[in-house]
Structure 1
Amino acid sequence: MTSQWALGHALEERLSSLRLQGVPTEVDEARARRRLERWRKQEPLTRDVLWDQRLRAAGLTEAELHALLGESSQALHARMGAPPSWQRVIERAYAQATAPRFSWPEPTPPGSALLGLVEPLVHEAHARLIVALDTCLREAPEAPFEPERTARMLLGPLPRQLMPLLGRTLAVELRIAQLEGRLQGDTSEARFQDFAHQLRRRDVALDVLSRYPVMARQAVELIAGWEAAGVELMQRLARDAAALWRRFHSGVSPGLLVEAQGGLSDPHRGGRTVFLLRFASGLRLVYKPRPLAAEAAFQQLVSWLNARGLTPPLRTVEFLSSEGYGWMEFVEAAPCQSADEVRRFHLRQGALVALLYALDVTDIHYENLIAAGEHPVLVDLETLFHPHTLAASLQNLETQPGAVLNGTVLKSGLLPQPAWRSKDGTEVDFSALGAGEGQLTPLGYLVATAHGTDELRFERRRMEIPGAANRPRLEGQDLSVTVQADALAQGFSTLYRLLIEHRDALLAPEGPLAAFEDAPVRVLFRGTASYDALLHESMHPHAMGDALDRQRFFDHLWLAVKERPYLAALIPLEQEELQRGDIPRFTTLPGSKDLWSGAGRHLPGFFDMSGLERARQRLVGLSPDDHARQLALLRSALDRVRLAARPGARPRYPFHEPPEPAQPDALLAAARRVGERLVALSFTGAGQAHWLSLEQSATKEWRLAQAGTDLYQGLSGIALVLAQLGALTGEARFTQAARGALRHLTWRLEKAPAHVSGVGLLNGWGGILYALTHLGALWGERALFETAESFVDAVAPRVEQDVHLDLGGGCAGALLGLLTLTGRHPSERASRLARACGEKLLLTATPQPQGLGWPSPATGGRALCGLAHGGAGIALALLRLASATGEARFHAAALETLAYERGQFSPEAGDWPDLRADAGMHGGDGPAFMCGWCNGAPGIGLGRISSLPLLDDARVRGEITAAVNATLAGGLGYNHGLCHGDLGNVLFLLEAARALHDDTLLRRTYQLAGGILQSIESHGHLHGLPDSIETPGLMVGLAGIAHGLARLAAPERVPDVLSVAPPIP
């Protein structure tokens, strides 16, 4: 036999021999250097630290690897000695000149004629399997199967496992044979059949297998694993038959096995997978080749909760658990029969969300849930009590972006959430409640095209994900989870409160959690899909000729070590299983801190806390505030689905103006309640606080994400408002939450300042500097001024790149933030950058038929009116800069800006038009008009009021009056937010009344504020997002409502954020 077989030896095997026999005598130095350089250039191993770590993980030196990479197959063959067992299996199986024809059960995958290459191996294994089943039947005559028929059933999944391994390599060989003219036949199909026939010849098959020894070895081991798993399954069925019939079939035999569907899970432990067995009576059983003690304990827990009044009760599933494996009843999907059943389905589903949250479960995807009429049934619960990894790696778990989701109801995977999102915004949702038909796989899968011809090739295509039985159906229609959002929320709350009620019994030493203590559970460190992709890519022909090339490919696992250092200890264990063709599987015991690999390797003390202890802490921590947070996330997850399905509406509400003005104590009490809600929704840890909220991406997709650093919707605005509430009420909880938000804000800014890409007051650095300055002034902490100043250098390059220019998103907003800082903390570099912002505005100004404007990419090429995005905001920034620098050119540019905006005023509408390309709040064919702080009269009027100390004339005051009239006429009844809502508009009226010394308007303002209070009492808080979805941020959410109410309650103590007011002395 050729020496090339030796190249199938794995790195560890070669190294072990090397240690015994010394460095190879024949090393091709040039080849070794070339291969080693290629290995080193593979990311992330270009980093010396990781490269050294990778070598240590294998117990390898670079010199040893260099020698192995340059060793010839002949030298390796001589050094390794006797042929390995897998090579001997091949020699024995291919003893005949031509392989006997083997009949595969239908259906077979495309291109399966190529399986003739390995049919001798399959033929031998199949024959041995029949013998083993005969022996089993002689030892247990009551076993419910017939050996030959069963052995053929078990063949079903084998072609689907072999084709990914063989397909691409044989497609290459087919192409080579075609080019070399070695194929006979007048048609493409005939030439393919000739190639398939050649593969059945001993000389051709051995030549191919020897040139691809990694593929050959993998094929031998895969087939051997199939055989061993089949024998094991049938032996277990024979041994457990009597117990199975008692548990699942009233003690009566169901007859012979008539169907066995394998490959129903990822392969683990030598290719073992889940099987669905069907017997003559119709009984169906699910066989799982792993311990089921945890799933059985879960069913006992569900029964325990049902007995304590859970309504409606959850369905339990029958199990028979044995040592290392188990059996489960088959749960058949069925539609709901009525709307009442649909509601009860979602009540139960909400209860499951709460239960899985309490048990810290993860990876429940759409294939793990069966909609069985009105019962949602979980059918694969192997990730209960998911432990946390090493404390040293996750000391900032609660503060790492995105990591907070791991401590919420979203972790389990039940609730809808995108697992993957493409650049064009397309999402893939694998969740148990969100996944539906019509989705495409996130990654391309290799698909055989032109199969059955000599043009066979494999192309990468995103495939349609087959539908599952996870969603309830009524009258033939799949139902979206959003149709019963209230029922889902109610079911969640019901079980959450039940867990609190019976917490002591749950936590008791003899309580239902004790049954989980020693029940093995799976631990996920990477997504199964990433393992699967890596495994299939490693079957490329380039990796099939030498095991070291495949080993190098598996080193892509090191890519994740930078972010998760603890993975370094696991990579050798992952690679060990991947080399066998298995998906890596790690397990632990809920009561243990130890970890085990799928091959049985033991890592003691890997976790800093056991999964069961973590769950006990979770149960102890159940509280009204935690309930509020988790329920808000549940609703947000459903809101995201609803908004993705259709554009959200911005409904108006009936606004009623009471005859009496609102009183300060009532306004402050309302502000306090909003603050309480805001604090309740915060996630805290390591002295930090942050929030989750729905936000819209640049490509208009909605996503549930950690609040950013900005003033508009992020931590800057939330921290500022909580600090204001703390100072106004004297309540430490608000100040404490503000400081937690500030710590998280500065932590993120110091860790990754480049992530703040915007410079405006609302979207970026301008708002951050503004908030830090206000917090420093409010708390009397100069260090916060210095912190703000330290970020100035990070802002400068962003100003140079800015194309938005306006107050909300551009350098006009940065200018206002910088001036706020220098007004309290003189800073030469901040002053220089403020002037640079002004210079940028002058440089980018575009002459208009009347005055100056600033078109931007976001405006459809038009210069806009308004405070957030148009001339009013830019004019305010330029006027303040002129005052700070004494430079008249900035003042002159501001006047030209106002001239442009005045030219746009519509006397007929008594308002300024919204000139954005997508504007149109009111619809119609004419100009669009919006009555909000961001666009329209309230913002423009506020900009004029803020300019009065710098520009006070009859025209300005006339515009203020026009803005007041427009706001009173059409500015109420939208929502309670600041940006484009009622509180923003009422705060403008407050400023107008104070600036114009108009007591009548002042009284009217507080009457309108009273109407807002009545609306809050009647409708709850109406937010500025579509459908009034709750959100924590300043401009459209809770923080803004709290700010508006607090300012109305105490305008002399709460600075007006909307006019970019400086801190109150």
Structure 2
Amino acid sequence: MITYEVHMSDTRESYLWERTYDNTEYTPPKTDTEELKFWNRTMGEEFFKELYTNIPKIQSYLTNQPYETDRGEAARLFNKYECNERGIPQEAADFIAKYESENFIQFYTPYLAAGILRLKHLIVKDDICRPEVYEQYLRSLFTKIQKICIRTLIHEIRQCKVNGELEGKDASGEYEYFIKQVVTGEWRNSLFGKYPVLARSVAEAVELSAQLYAEAVNRLSDASKEITEQICEERTFTYITGIEGDIADSHRGGKSVLKISLDNGMTVIYKPHSLENETVFHELLRQLGNRCGMEMYRMKKVEGSDWGFCECVKHQECACREEMERYYRRMGLCIFVFYLLGTNDIHSENIIAHGEYPVLVDLENIMSAPEEFEAMNITEKVQYFLHKSVLYSGALPSCKWISGGGNVNVSGVGGRGGSRMPFKVPRVVNSRSSDIQIQYVHPVLDPDDNIPVLQGRPADPERYLDDMTEGFKAAYMWALCNRRELQQWTEPLKCVESRYLLADTQRYVMCQNSSYHPALMTDGARRQIYLYTMWYGRSMESKGDRQVVEWEVKDLLNHDIPFFYFISSEKHLYHADGKRLEGYFARTSYDMLLERIQDLNEADMSNELELIEMTIVLQSQAEKELMNEGTEDGGSVAGEFKPDEKNKLLEMAVEIGERLLAGAVNVDGSEKGWYMACVTTDGSLGWMIQPVDMYLYSGVMGIAVFLHLLHEYSGSREFGCAASQLDRQLFAYTDYMRETKADDMASGIYNGEASIVYGYLFLYKRTGNEEYLTYARRHGEIVVRCACRDVNYDLLDGLAGAVYACCLLYECTEDEGWLKCAKEAAGRLIKAAVKTEDGLCWKNAQSEEALLGMSHGNAGIMTAFAALCRVCKKAEYMEAFRQALCYEDKCYDPGLKNWTDFRAVKSADRKLADTVAWCHGAGGILMSRLMSANMEQEELGDLIEFDVKRASAKLAGKCVREGMCLCHGSLGNLLMLQEYCKFTGDKEAEHIRQRNLKYVYEKLKDNDFCLLPQERYNPGLMSGYTGVGYGLLALYDDRLADILCLEI
């Protein structure tokens, strides 16, 4: 006979919200200093002080004030677990025997036994359940209890080991001794006396699990007739053969989705909540599908007021290519409905590919949250556009996280298993030994059923992009032409409840897991205080945040994931228990829906279609690797580009300009903004879609420069108007930055604040408009502030760029103040240098080792010293230039006939990394030498001339690349070769340039600009198609100031 009781009388098990403190003592209370030290270490002194000040019950707890507690229903959940004289139930005994290899399984025996007894007590007709039901229930219960107990049990066995209380020849033997000799009924009582919150949590897990399973069984039994008729296609059933739990998070008192297997071979899904969301959503899909000639899947279900059963839709292959095409047309229609309603959180587990039908399941976030977003500038306005776009749903491919874990795609359309997630989760290692411990590891995603399959092969969504966009466009055009009918269809959405995510689920899970630490299980106050880490990122002065955090903490204490929702026609935020925050939102979700219906237009449809295309193509290419390598094709072209054909270059540049304007987002009526595909270059093959920034490299300033040039060369008023509009955006940015006195931005001259100065000076020299010079001065003040804090030293992003910009300002204004600023920044640059026996170099965030080359390395930094030497003949800067040059030349690889690319981590990879581009390798190094050719020292002149010869030979031999952009593509290399030819008059190099120009022109002309995805979806000047247009203009007119060598 096994008898065991868990007594619930220790008041320390209560949480702060259940306590009433008596603070009437006349003597001032003393703070428990040891407890205070514990919390300062655990949460940080500053943060805990804020908690202590704002939450009176924490003060009462730390001063050991007496309290009373009435746990109400929580205390009466389960006051006693007892296995009678018959011993533990057979189901529990069988389970323990089957899973005896699980860690500490013997410890859990009484609670698993109690769980079976409690479940059977709650089930009205327990003869409906086959033994497999109880096994799966115990598996679920065991998982829940283990999550609660494992940290404490590991702590206890390791303490026993430290104290020399274990016997055994090795760690495994010591574990067996602990389980068989230490873990007794008396020891359990002692353990729960030490950790009363552990006792409470185990009791709650048992009770809530039993309630959930019993509720599902009883409701299925009551609704068996309807389930047979409406879900099982008249196939009767007698028994439940299995219930699978732990397939979704628990909310609202342990409620969670269950998968129930029946003896008729069918499987149904039990959902302990209303199915109204799914019903309304699928009806809207059905009606729209009918209008667009697409029959949508109809889910079989039986529903009550706050519960429902639905069929378990299984993954099924497509029978032919036509079915695959229809699948993606239907998916396009679904994406439109997501876009229209603002549905979000549609990931790979929310879509099941059932033959030619995409079936949507578990729709919690059916309507867009009615959030207010006050956009202050063009970047924020474009961000808001993206927030409201087809990207918001999560259905389209995306890289939600980009990290060393790789390209993580969890989307509904493209998400696949096998991705390594960037966050870490706890995992037990050294199982069944006294060395057992918890490690944190990156989880790997399991495959989901969201990818359609044909002949055993998962689909590549890019192959069906036309079908997807066809479905989206058909739905959009119907809605555009039938607004009134569509609005009538949306009437049932007025009362829909949509989940509102106030924090990532992963944050809740990690916080809850940590709250089961043994140090927090000694007193309920401790566990609750720890969960107040949910205050991070919130304001304690906000009444709304105060209520939200209290609700979150209460849910987490009750072992749930916090759940909030809103009703689409109301402005209130509701908690899972039905309580609400009045007027939390400024408007209703349903009003936003009606507004969106009225705002549908063909220009918006084009933007949304482009975003769909971008996500599908970028993800497909990311999986195949987004590569930009050299190519030998250019050397095989017949003939040269003829000088009398130069107008063709201008015509092509104008075409690119027209495409640029067509791809703009019109916000606030006529104001234009752009978004771009940003591709990582760290080997993780990640990408994201984001607004362009304000800088020259890939932002507004670069686009403005191009549009001004197009206006000048083509005379097009449209380009001139757009350029003027961007000028206003840039002026507003400068004014804002001056007003806020920002000083924490990058200071670089291509991708930082100095790039704004350079752009203004470029336009000033080009137009003679003094306003540009005025704003260059104003923005120069911002550069100086940012340079004081910048810890990057390169030309592109960092301090070297600030030095160069100040030198340009000095040359344009003859204001000695700018020269002084340049000298101060140069001094910091010299101070930050790493001194080696080969010369000077600079470390940066781009690589573990100091880099070479123009963008992030010595070549670019040298140009800043060269510019300073040009205006200030000071030996210190000449010497810094010389040492930087010597270091870079020491890294020349005679085998490659190129400079080493230290971005490659392994030495073997460096031997193969024969990079020739502006940013890295011989191309940018050639430019830096040409920019420094006026150095007066004869020794430096000889070194520069030698570098020019070998760098130009390399560039001429590897001028053409797969990509076309300025930074690391063929157009950039052509411009650098053009600069070399202008500088030296090398006729052979000029012939090579003209041959390569013909090849590049023909390739662009014949293949719709033939750009890599990361260029085609990037309007940036240095890395995107705008730069291709600029390059064509510079080749059309070789007198045009070259931005690659910072001419103005």
TM-score (norm 1): 0.80
**Residue pair 1:193, 1:452 contacting (<8 A) in 2 also:** no
For 2:396, the aligned partner's letter is L
Q: Do structure 1's residue 468 and structure 2's residue 457 form an aligned pair?
A: no
Distance, in Å, in 2 between the alignment partners of 1:195 and 1:532 is 34
Distance, in Å, in 2 between the alignment partners of 1:355 and 1:182 is 64
Q: Which residue of 1 aligns with 2:258?
A: 275
Within the candidate set 628, 631, 644, 1:661 is matched to 644
Distance, in Å, in 2 between the alignment partners of 1:426 and 1:672 is 36
For 1:122, the aligned partner's letter is G
**Residue pair 1:387, 1:614 contacting (<8 A) in 2 also:** no
Within the candidate set 640, 647, 650, 2:629 is matched to 650
Q: Which residue of 2 aligns with 1:141?
A: none
Report deviation, 1:586.
1.0
Q: Do structure 1's residue 416 and structure 2's residue 397 form an aligned pair?
A: yes
Report deviation, 1:555.
0.8
For 1:8, the aligned partner's letter is E
Report deviation, 1:4.
6.6
Secondary structure at the aligned position of 2:10 is classed as helix
Structure-to-structure mapping, 1:550-589, within 5 angstroms: 550-561=527-538, 567-589=545-567
Within the candidate set 107, 111, 116, 1:114 is matched to 107
Distance, in Å, in 2 between the alignment partners of 1:399 and 1:462 is 33
Distance, in Å, in 1 between the alignment partners of 2:849 and 2:217 is 73
Secondary structure at the aligned position of 2:277 is classed as helix
Deviations 1:197-247 (A, max 9, x none): 623xxx654443343232222333333323333343234324433333332
**Residue pair 1:350, 1:492 contacting (<8 A) in 2 also:** yes
Within the candidate set 531, 537, 544, 2:514 is matched to 537
Q: Which residue of 1 aligns with 2:497?
A: 520
Report deviation, 1:35.
3.4
Structure-to-structure mapping, 1:367-516, within 5 angstroms: 367-390=349-372, 399=380, 406-422=387-403, 424-426=404-406, 428-440=408-420, 442-449=422-429, 457-474=437-454, 476=456, 479=458, 483-488=460-465, 490-505=467-482, 508=485, 511-516=488-493
Q: Give the gaps of 5 or more residues in structure 2.
A: 1-5
Q: Which residue of 1 aligns with 2:1042?
A: 1056
Q: Do structure 1's residue 8 and structure 2's residue 10 form an aligned pair?
A: no
Distance, in Å, in 2 between the alignment partners of 1:756 and 1:96 is 71
Instruction: Let me know the Cα RMSD of the aligned residues.
Output: 5.2
Deviations 1:989-1040 (A, max 9, x none): 77678889999999999998787555433212344x6886532221121221
Distance, in Å, in 2 between the alignment partners of 1:867 and 1:70 is 62
Structure-to-structure mapping, 1:948-987, within 5 angstroms: 971=959, 975-987=963-975
Deviations 1:451-504 (A, max 9, x none): 556665544444544333233445555x3x6x3414235413531353133235
For 1:613, the aligned partner's letter is D
**Residue pair 1:385, 1:614 contacting (<8 A) in 2 also:** no
Q: Which residue of 2 aligns with 1:600?
A: 578
Q: Which residue of 2 aligns with 1:733?
A: 722
Q: Sequence identity, in percent? A: 20
Secondary structure at the aligned position of 2:495 is classed as coil
Deviations 1:339-371 (A, max 9, x none): 565555445445444442333222222222223
Q: Which residue of 2 aligns with 1:360?
A: 342
The 3 A distance-change label for structure 1 pair 356 and 776 is farther
The 3 A distance-change label for structure 1 pair 627 and 670 is farther
Distance, in Å, in 1 between the alignment partners of 2:419 and 2:278 is 30
Report deviation, 1:834.
2.1
Q: Which residue of 2 aligns with 1:335?
A: 317
**Residue pair 1:942, 1:992 contacting (<8 A) in 2 also:** no
Report deviation, 1:584.
0.8
Q: Which residue of 1 aligns with 2:781?
A: 790
Secondary structure at the aligned position of 2:268 is classed as strand
For 2:30, the aligned partner's letter is E
Distance, in Å, in 1 between the alignment partners of 2:353 and 2:13 is 47
TM-score (norm 2): 0.81
Q: Which residue of 2 aligns with 1:613?
A: 591
Report deviation, 1:532.
1.5
**Residue pair 2:761, 2:772 contacting (<8 A) in 1 also:** no
Distance, in Å, in 2 between the alignment partners of 1:433 and 1:337 is 19
Structure-to-structure mapping, 1:35-434, within 5 angstroms: 35-36=35-36, 38-39=38-39, 43=43, 46=46, 51=51, 55=54, 60-61=55-56, 64-71=57-64, 75-76=66-67, 79-80=68-69, 86-87=74-75, 91-94=79-82, 100=88, 103-104=91-92, 106=95, 110-119=103-112, 121-122=114-115, 124-130=117-123, 132-133=124-125, 145=128, 154-174=137-157, 188=174, 191-194=177-180, 198-199=184-185, 205-310=188-293, 314-337=296-319, 341-342=323-324, 344-390=326-372, 399=380, 406-422=387-403, 424-426=404-406, 428-434=408-414
Distance, in Å, in 1 between the alignment partners of 2:212 and 2:856 is 67
The 3 A distance-change label for structure 1 pair 1046 and 194 is same
**Residue pair 1:643, 1:702 contacting (<8 A) in 2 also:** yes
Within the candidate set 752, 759, 770, 1:771 is matched to 759
**Residue pair 1:44, 1:50 contacting (<8 A) in 2 also:** no
Report deviation, 1:554.
0.6
The 3 A distance-change label for structure 1 pair 873 and 1015 is same
**Residue pair 2:198, 2:521 contacting (<8 A) in 1 also:** yes
For 1:1059, the aligned partner's letter is C
For 2:64, the aligned partner's letter is E
The 3 A distance-change label for structure 1 pair 741 and 644 is farther
Q: Do structure 1's residue 717 and structure 2's residue 702 form an aligned pair?
A: yes
Report deviation, 1:551.
0.9
Report deviation, 1:788.
1.6
**Residue pair 1:414, 1:431 contacting (<8 A) in 2 also:** yes
- Of 633-642 and 582-591, more deviation after overlay is shown by 633-642
Distance, in Å, in 2 between the alignment partners of 1:404 and 1:462 is 33
**Residue pair 2:131, 2:241 contacting (<8 A) in 1 also:** no
Report deviation, 1:934.
6.4
Secondary structure at the aligned position of 1:539 is classed as coil
Q: Do structure 1's residue 1019 and structure 2's residue 1007 form an aligned pair?
A: yes
Distance, in Å, in 1 between the alignment partners of 2:646 and 2:663 is 26
**Residue pair 1:390, 1:606 contacting (<8 A) in 2 also:** no
Report deviation, 1:252.
4.8
Report deviation, 1:332.
0.9
How many pairs does the alignment contain? 1013
Deviations 1:965-1010 (A, max 9, x none): 9978864575442234443355457767888999999999999878
Secondary structure at the aligned position of 2:482 is classed as helix
For 1:787, the aligned partner's letter is R
**Residue pair 2:858, 2:885 contacting (<8 A) in 1 also:** yes
Report deviation, 1:6.
0.9
Secondary structure at the aligned position of 2:578 is classed as coil
Report deviation, 1:286.
1.1
For 1:821, the aligned partner's letter is L
Distance, in Å, in 2 between the alignment partners of 1:469 and 1:743 is 49
Q: Which residue of 1 aligns with 2:679?
A: 695
For 1:584, the aligned partner's letter is P
**Residue pair 2:628, 2:962 contacting (<8 A) in 1 also:** no
For 1:378, the aligned partner's letter is L
For 2:257, the aligned partner's letter is V
For 1:191, the aligned partner's letter is Y
Q: Give the gaps of 5 or more residues in structure 1.
A: 138-144
**Residue pair 1:10, 1:548 contacting (<8 A) in 2 also:** yes
